[in-house]
Amino acid sequence: MPPSRLDVKQGTLALMILRTLDVLGPCHGYGIARRIEETSGHRLSLNYGTLYPALLKLEQEGAIRAAWRASENNRRAKFYTLTAAGRKQLARETQSWQETAALMAAFLAPPPEPT
Amino acid sequence: MRQLRAFLLRVIGSFRAAPDYREEMEAHLAFATQDNIRRGMSPDAARREALMQSGGFTRGAEGVHERHGLPWLQETLRDARLALRALRHNPAYTFVAVMTLALGVGANTAIFSVVRGVVLRPLPYREPERLVSLESTIGERGSSVSVPDFLDWRAQSTSMRGISASYTGTQQTVLTGSGEPERLTQVRVSANTLEVLGIAPLLGRGFADGEDDPGAPRVALLREDFWLRRFGGDSSIVGRTLVFDGFPTTIIGIAPRALGWPAEADVWMTTRFTPRDAAPVARGARWLTVIGRLADNATLAQSRDEFSAIATRLQQLDPTHNGDVGTRVTPLLESITGDLETPLYVLLGAVGFVLLIACANVASLSLGRVAARDGELAVRTALGASRGRIARQVLTENLVLATMGGVAGIGVAVLALKALLAVAPADLPRVSDVRLDGSVIAFTLALTVVSGIVFGVFPAVRAAATGVHDRLRSAGRSGRGSRESGKSRRVLVVAEVALAVVLVTGAGLLLRSFALLRAVDPGFRTDGVTTFTVLLPSTRYEGDARVESFTADLLARLHRLPGVSSAAMSFALPLSGDSFGFTFTISGREAANGADEPRAQARVASDEYFAAMGIPLLRGRLFDERDQRGGHQVLVISSELARRYFPDEDPIGRLLQTGWGNGIPGQSFGGEVIGVVGDVHQSAIEQDATPHMYMRAAQWPLDEFDVVVRSSAPYSAVVSGARGVLRALDPDIPLGAARPLGDLVDGALGHRRFYMLLLGAFAGVALALAIVGIYGVMAYGVRLRRQELGVRLALGASRGGVVRLVLGDGLQLVAIGIVAGTLAAFALTRLLASLLYEIKPTDPATFSVSVLALVAAATIACVLPARGASRLDPVETIRAD
């Protein structure tokens, strides 16, 4: 039984892509998708209609740059690289997510036992 | 920032094909397949699994496409492309619609650029809103300012940072000693003028304090355009000495082209008031134009209070000259353009009407087109196109049409503006500022979009209104849909006719006023009369004797030219804008003060002046050799002066005396009345003649004057003859401002002619568009009714009866339009009141004529379709459906 599938939450995919590129360095679309799926324990699955528009959006916003070059097994592939602006965006959004997550965690924690 | 960058990229992306991600997605698939094989799947299964994960190439490509551009923009562009294709398929429709719009938009753009250049554009000076015009007022009337008044204002005012005076208008000056002698225009201003205006010279320096004193060395600024023309922009001219009117003058700088106060001129010099100019007796001689710049802490209202207090003090100081003299403080721009705002805004409104009519025509055409496309639209509706989608497509098509019309309209505007400036009166202020600039283009764009919506909404709503059922049933036949669009088009015809009535009536009123003005007898005859001006350099023509002998010589030689019946000099010509008003006393009567004091305009004329101008002698005699310089001074007065100040007496033999002379001690203008001549409209054709006195030129020699020559020879022969005479007498004196006397009259009516021509042109275009509109609707109506008409004919209706039926139908629409238009005209022609002469804005004759014109035009437009209807073949029309 595979783990239950989740939909990618609106606005989180961009952050995942940026983080992936930050960790892996320059990477092609398949590499990014695979890394995100693996990190999520295969609960996330990215199809082309989700992944490539998201990559295009980040490119338009100047957070990543794309260039064609040969891959490790000599196939031509488009590699995405984080730009300086992308790095800044990643730092900013990471912090904001951590704060939100901490807040939500505190909020949703089980109420303390009455003393 | 990030979002903006992405947005702009997507806007650009909307116009381009989306990038192809297929290769990238294929690489993706290959990587995934390889990984699956590595995990132990068979190649086939590995690829299948990878494909399943991918969600499909198509979805990927779609997502990329949507992200690459902006979906709404992409859709609009697709509609626009569709519209362009549809318009290309129907070139006749497209051409007529685009041309109609181009006419409307182009005319509006041209007029707006005039309004913008003349009225709206700020003056080209520093903080122009703090500049004011300072005038004297006599009673209600504005007046120039006298030198003593100006000096007192300047000394007493604290609400102004600076006050500057100039001679009113331009003067002539002759440049000699540097190649050809050339006649130039000059203005004379106070030394602080550039400072008050807040404008710096391009080169050199401005006037320094004290350079307007009579004893100061003579200095001048050249204006940029003259400097470029005459000296080719040579900067070494600054510091050099040129000779103007015989006076060596140092050029201290070059003034920028923007400097246009008090008028556009070639050379700027200083006022150099003499002690005589500033003497107490000169308080009544008002000939200066004055402006001021408000002090930093002062408001317009404060300055008005202060100046009326100063005026009161001057009234007490000198009740003889200033008894009823007040002041008026007006923002400078308003004082320049005040009289023009109403007519220009009326023209802008009128040309707006033309655009509305053009829009109505295009809307009507477009409605007809929607009706003709019923079949196509029905199929599209049936295939699932929503009403919104169809309305949107029709609207897009019309906006595309409007854009094409707007672009063509800019071309029309360029031509129209050229034509317009060619007929513009020469004294239209700031006319050199009129051009198609950014804000005019922005206006055109806005106009284009608005007109596209105005004429596009109607058909769009109509296209969406009918359901698919109706449509399919009526498609291709004369069904309900077509009938309805026929109804909308009839409403448009009524509106068009109404608008045309307003324009034709307005134009008719101006035309009639103009005709009435042309019929006014100005008091002199212009046929065969040539005028020019002469300016004697005062250095070489010092002393009255030299001036007198030169003048006598000149007139005698002119008289001997072939064809010349009389040659005379005068200062100044009627309708030239120059006038010199004086108060005077009458011998044997108590001197009166203030408003009761007799006033008249004074002119200097030589003996043959009255003959040359065709001004009749009514009583007494004209000047002759008995009236010598230094002898007994004599006057000829105008009929109006006699009527006003000698109602029951004979003025002949009475002595009239002004307090103002030409500097010779003990001499002042005036003398014994020896004759009475006919009245002349001196200041404006539309103003009644005012009291005038003429002094004999030989008794009051002038070094600057107009010459009038009456001759049977053609104008060009007279001018070249006169030029020869002048050259023989003194080669350094050029012949100035030569023109037929009739041009003065035309010039005086220049503004009215301009407004009349423009409004007339708009009315003509409006009428033509209305005819086309009515014709289109009627012809279309006949086509819709051809079955019915066929049946009527088959049942024995006479052809005449059918003509009457169709004609009656059309004229009924026209009648409604005429009634509405006449009512609107009643309300709107009031705006023209200030431009009318001797007729009321509701002049019944003009209203009747314009209604008749509309009826005639509409009849022509209806007759052709009606005749077409009567020629229908009943058998064919019945069979056709």
pLDDT in tens, B474-507: 544 444 455 566 677 788 888 888 888 888 888 8
Contact B586, B658 (CB under 8 A): no
CB contact set of B398 (below 8 Å; sequence gap of 6+) = B362, B366, B452, B455, B456, B459, B460
Q: Any idea what the Cα angle at residue B325 is, between residues B662 and B298, rounded to 5°?
A: 115
Q: Residue B311 has what pLDDT?
A: 92
> Please, where are the H alpha helices in B706-798?
715-729, 741-748, 750-784, 786-794
Is pLDDT at B543 greater than 80 in this prediction? no
Give the gap in angstroms from C-alpha A73 to the nearest C-alpha of chain B: 9
Contact A66, A82 (CB under 8 A): no
Give the gap in angstroms from C-alpha B45 to the nearest C-alpha of chain A: 18
Is pLDDT at A40 greater than 80 in this prediction? yes
Confidence of residue A1 (pLDDT cuts 50, 70, 90): very low
User: Which residues of A are less than 8 Å from B25 in CB distance?
Assistant: 29, 48, 52
Helix and strand counts by DSSP (H, E) for chain B: 28, 24
Q: Residue B220 has what pLDDT?
A: 94
What is the arithmetic mean of pLDDT over B737-749?
A: 81
Q: Residue B149 has what pLDDT?
A: 93
Query: CA B669, CA B687: separation in Å to the nearest integer?
Result: 25
pLDDT in tens, B126-141: 899 999 999 998 777 7
Q: What percent of chain B has pLDDT over 70?
A: 94
Contact B49, B29 (CB under 8 A): no
Query: CA B763, CA B757: separation in Å to the nearest integer?
Result: 10
Is A33's Cβ below 8 Å from some Cβ in B? yes
Is A70's Cβ below 8 Å from some Cβ in B? no
Residue-wise DSSP of B395-414: HHHHHHHHHHHHHHHHHHHH
Q: Residue A98: is it exposed, middle or buried by C-beta count within 10 angstroms (0-12/13-18/19+)?
A: exposed
Q: Residue B294 has what pLDDT?
A: 93
Q: Residue B478 has what pLDDT?
A: 46
Contact B532, B700 (CB under 8 A): no
Give the gap in angstroms from C-alpha A83 to the nearest C-alpha of chain B: 13
- In one-letter notation, the amino acid at residue B728 is A
- In one-letter notation, the amino acid at residue B754 is F
Extract the tokens encoding B810: 């059309």
Query: CA B579, CA B571: separation in Å to the nearest integer?
Result: 9
Higher pLDDT, B809 or B537: B809
Query: CA B180, CA B732: separation in Å to the nearest integer?
Result: 9
CB contact set of B390 (below 8 Å; sequence gap of 6+) = B377, B380, B381, B463, B464
Extract the tokens encoding B603: 């002119």
User: Which residues of B are less than 8 Å from A52 in CB distance?
Assistant: 21, 24-25, 60, 63-64
What is the arithmetic mean of pLDDT over B751-765?
A: 84
Extract the tokens encoding B712: 């049977």
Contact B503, B711 (CB under 8 A): no
CB contact set of B287 (below 8 Å; sequence gap of 6+) = B144, B145, B146, B167, B168, B580
Give the gap in angstroms from C-alpha B40 to the nearest C-alpha of chain A: 18
Average pLDDT over all residues of chain B = 83
Please give the residue of chain B at the shortest CA–CA distance from A47.
B54
Is pLDDT at B422 greater than 70 in this prediction? yes
Look at the alpha carbons of B375, B381, B385, B389 in this order and tell me if their dihedral is positive or negative. Answer: positive
Is pLDDT at B665 greater than 60 in this prediction? no
Q: Residue B480 has what pLDDT?
A: 47
pLDDT in tens, B834-856: 878 888 888 888 888 888 988 88
Nearest to B27 among A49, A50, A75 (CB): A75
CA B565 distance to own-chain centroid: 40
H or E element that contains B815:
helix B799-828
pLDDT in tens, B233-280: 899 999 999 988 788 999 999 999 888 888 888 999 998 888 878 888
Q: Reduce the DSSP state of residue B783 to 3 states and report it.
A: helix
Q: Residue B209: is it exposed, middle or buried by C-beta count within 10 angstroms (0-12/13-18/19+)?
A: exposed
Nearest to B31 among A30, A49, A51 (CB): A30
Taking an 8 Å cut-off on Cβ atoms, the answer to whether B53 and A56 are in contact is no
Query: CA B43, CA B553: separation in Å to the nearest integer?
Result: 120
Give the gap in angstroms from C-alpha B458 to the nearest C-alpha of chain A: 40
Nearest to A53 among B5, B9, B64 (CB): B64
ipTM value for the complex: 0.86
Q: Residue B797: is it exposed, middle or buried by C-beta count within 10 angstroms (0-12/13-18/19+)?
A: middle
Q: Residue B281 has what pLDDT?
A: 73
Q: Any idea what the Cα angle at residue B127 is, between residues B126 and B129, rounded to 5°?
A: 135
Closest CA to B351 of B110, B120, B119, B513: B110
Taking an 8 Å cut-off on Cβ atoms, the answer to whether A56 and B57 are in contact is no
What is the arithmetic mean of pLDDT over B518-547?
A: 78
What is the arithmetic mean of pLDDT over B307-328?
A: 87
pLDDT in tens, B1-17: 778 888 888 888 888 88
User: Which residues of B are less than 8 Å from A88 in CB distance?
Assistant: none
Query: CA B278, CA B289: separation in Å to the nearest integer?
Result: 15
Beta bridge partners of B331: B132
Query: CA B653, CA B667: separation in Å to the nearest integer?
Result: 19
Higher pLDDT, B413 or B383: B413
Contact B131, B292 (CB under 8 A): yes
Taking an 8 Å cut-off on Cβ atoms, the answer to whether A89 and B64 are in contact is no
Extract the tokens encoding B76: 């609009």
Q: What percent of chain B has pLDDT over 90?
A: 12
pLDDT in tens, A42-72: 888 888 888 999 999 999 999 999 998 887 7
Taking an 8 Å cut-off on Cβ atoms, the answer to whether B63 and A29 are in contact is no
Query: CA B574, CA B852: separation in Å to the nearest integer?
Result: 40
Determine how β-strand B267-270 pairs with β-strand B182-189: parallel
Nearest to A61 among B6, B64, B68 (CB): B6
Contact B204, B251 (CB under 8 A): yes
Look at the alpha carbons of B689, B695, B696, B700 in this order and tell me if their dihedral is positive or negative. Answer: negative
Query: CA B266, CA B173: separation in Å to the nearest integer?
Result: 10
pLDDT in tens, B56-78: 888 888 888 888 888 888 888 88
Query: CA B737, CA B730: separation in Å to the nearest integer?
Result: 18
Nearest to A52 among B30, B34, B60 (CB): B60
Higher pLDDT, B540 or B337: B337
Q: For A20-24, B45-49, B828-832, B877-881, which range has the lowest pLDDT when averaged over its residues? A: B877-881
Taking an 8 Å cut-off on Cβ atoms, the answer to whether B60 and A89 are in contact is no
Q: Which of A12-16, B317-321, B722-726, B754-758 has the highest mean pLDDT?
A: A12-16
Contact B331, B134 (CB under 8 A): no
pLDDT in tens, B26-64: 888 888 898 889 888 898 999 888 888 888 888 888 888
Give the gap in angstroms from C-alpha B464 to the nearest C-alpha of chain A: 35
Confidence of residue B602 (pLDDT cuts 50, 70, 90): confident
Q: Is the peptide bond before B216 cis (omega within 30 degrees of 0)?
A: no
CB contact set of B105 (below 8 Å; sequence gap of 6+) = B355, B358, B405, B406, B408, B409, B410, B412, B413, B444, B447, B448, B451
User: Which residues of A are less than 8 Å from B63 in CB distance?
Assistant: 48-50, 52-53
Beta bridge partners of B620: B675
Contact B456, B402 (CB under 8 A): yes
Extract the tokens encoding B620: 């007494």
Contact B147, B139 (CB under 8 A): no
Residue-wise DSSP of chain A: -PPPPBPPPTTHHHHHHHHHHHHH-SEEHHHHHHHHHHHTTT-B---HHHHHHHHHHHHHTTSEEEEEEE-TTS-EEEEEEE-HHHHHHHHHHHHHHHHHHHHHHHHHSPPPPP-
Confidence of residue B871 (pLDDT cuts 50, 70, 90): confident
Closest CA to B226 of B198, B195, B248, B259: B259
Query: CA B259, CA B227: separation in Å to the nearest integer?
Result: 14
Contact A59, A65 (CB under 8 A): yes
H or E element that contains B526:
none
Nearest to B64 among A31, A56, A77 (CB): A56
Extract the tokens encoding B436: 């198609």
Distances B474 to B165, B379, B483, B871 between C-alpha atoms, Å: 79, 12, 10, 26
